[in-house]
């Protein structure tokens, strides 16, 4: 228990201790914080008071940074020790912070009074295509049931390189993209705003420590290189994407904006929620073979007025560890702050499909919302909210919201 009150259904109990970047009215400089319940805790203030001297070298410098990159670069032993130390400082039985009224007033803020920022300086962004259900659904729509999955799909985690510069934090509004799209099948493409704007229910991990060029990360130590996980909405202009993606994959249909949640939940916090993943057939090659549970039982929701999809990360065919391992097996060097998305996470039933493309079956049917409202794809000024949480034995660890809004296209 913490001396800071947390509701039973809070995503941010003392069992979580995520990391993020905040600024406040009295201090506009972005700096490192954690969150517990409905409060943000400014770690730079605690560091200035000397409360991290035993776990982080130059803690004040590390936690005064405008991103998590420096902290993430310190490695898993420091991340784990810091999280445990914060749990101790926030526990009801620890007087150090609990009984220091002046320090509490300077370091602890109601979450409604802080501004959150993109948690990392993201150097590179890769999006995978790791949900078999999603890949199968899309394949059926575009190639037919017999050719739904490409021959390579069950042998390796398919991915593509996205645009890191347009990754934004939850709450950022995005303009509807414009580009070439075929409005009438068989006719020439036209230029204009996307008519088939979609959202994607995804998760992503941030690389904490990277690897040297030419030295792959192995499946056995991949988790030690992953700092934590966020919710992610990889907004998609399906009509622009459909016209452009052959032969090199997504481009303008994706790179106009990707939204991530503000608080990074550590791999340590997610460890109690590990479960076996889907059976992989054929068996992965040796470099991708895992000997322990590597899927996470994370409930996921996508909402537009009301919940339109309920899925779970445990459905993902290729694990985060397999994704990172495959990414580097050719010698590719990952760097602190790199972002790797899961791809849309769809489940086995229609109500667990993770995109509007699937829910409307490429626009063939309406998605029913509250009050009789329907959608096939997103309209101007529509908002989407993604949520995710784990729950087991009375312990809840969540991610908060990943919220975005689509504004009209620029004229």
Annotated binding site for Mg(2+): 234, 254, 258
- For 379, the token pair is 């309209």
> DSSP string of 7-38?
-TT-SB-TTT--BEEEEETTEEEEEEEEEETT
Contacts with 58 (C-beta within 8 Å, 6 or more apart), sequence order:
none
Q: Does the annotation mark 134 as catalytic?
A: yes
* Among 319, 318, 301, 320, residue whose Cα is nearest residue 310: 301
Give me the helices (H) in 261-376, please.
Answer: 267-270, 320-328, 356-359
Backbone angles phi, psi at 327, to 5 degrees: -60, -30
Q: How far apart are CA 123 and CA 210, in angstroms?
A: 12
Q: How far apart are CA 287 and CA 290, in angstroms?
A: 9
Question: Which H, E and C letters describe 182-245, residue by residue?
Answer: CCCCCCCCEEEECCCEECEEEEEEEECCCCCCCCCCCCCCHHHHEEEEEEEECCEEHHHHHHHC
Q: Which of 15, 26, 85, 134 is catalytic?
A: 134
Handedness of CA 350, 299, 377, 374 (dihedral sign): positive
Please identify every residue annotated as catalytic.
134
């Amino acid at each position: 228990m913490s001396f800071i009150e947390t509701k039973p259904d809070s995503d941010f109990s003392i069992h979580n201790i995520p990391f993020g970047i905040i600024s406040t009215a009295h201090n506009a400089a972005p700096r490192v914080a954690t969150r517990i319940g409905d409060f943000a805790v400014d770690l730079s203030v605690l560091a200035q008071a000397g409360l991290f001297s035993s776990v982080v070298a130059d803690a004040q410098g590390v936690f005064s940074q405008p991103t998590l990159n420096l902290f993430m670069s310190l490695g898993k032993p420091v991340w784990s020790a810091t999280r445990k130390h914060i749990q101790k400082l926030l526990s009801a039985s620890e007087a150090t912070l609990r009984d220091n009224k002046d320090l509490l007033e300077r370091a602890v803020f109601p979450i409604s009074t802080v501004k959150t920022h993109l948690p990392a300086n993201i150097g590179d962004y890769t999006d995978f295509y790791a949900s078999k259900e999603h890949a199968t659904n899309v394949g059926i729509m575009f190639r037919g049931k017999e050719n739904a999955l490409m021959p390579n799909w069950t042998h390796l985690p398919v991915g593509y390189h996205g645009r890191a510069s347009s990754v934004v934090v939850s709450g950022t509004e995005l303009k509807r993209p414009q580009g070439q799209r075929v409005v009438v099948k068989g006719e020439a493409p036209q230029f204009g705003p996307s008519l088939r704007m979609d959202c994607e229910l995804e998760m992503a991990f941030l690389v904490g420590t990277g690897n040297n060029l030419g030295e792959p990360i192995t499946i056995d130590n991949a988790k030690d290189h992953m700092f934590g996980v966020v919710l992610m909405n990889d907004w998609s202009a399906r009509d622009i994407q459909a016209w452009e993606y052959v032969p090199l994959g997504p481009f303008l249909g994706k790179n106009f904006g990707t939204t991530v949640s503000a608080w990074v939940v550590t791999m340590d916090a997610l460890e109690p929620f590990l479960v076996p993943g889907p059976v992989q057939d054929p068996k992965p090659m040796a470099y991708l073979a895992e000997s322990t549970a590597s899927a996470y039982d994370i409930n996921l929701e996508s909402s537009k007025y009301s919940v339109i999809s309920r899925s779970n990360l445990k459905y993902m065919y290729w694990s985060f560890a397999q994704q990172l391992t495959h990414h580097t097996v050719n010698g590719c060097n990952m760097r602190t702050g790199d972002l790797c998305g899961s791809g849309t996470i769809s489940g086995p039933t229609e109500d667990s499909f993770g995109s509007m493309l699937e829910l409307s079956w490429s626009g063939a049917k309406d998605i029913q919302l509250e009050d009789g409202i329907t959608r096939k794809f997103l309209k101007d000024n529509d908002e989407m909210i993604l949520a995710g949480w784990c729950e087991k034995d009375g312990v809840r660890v969540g991610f908060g919201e990943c919220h975005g809004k689509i504004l009209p296209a620029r004229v």
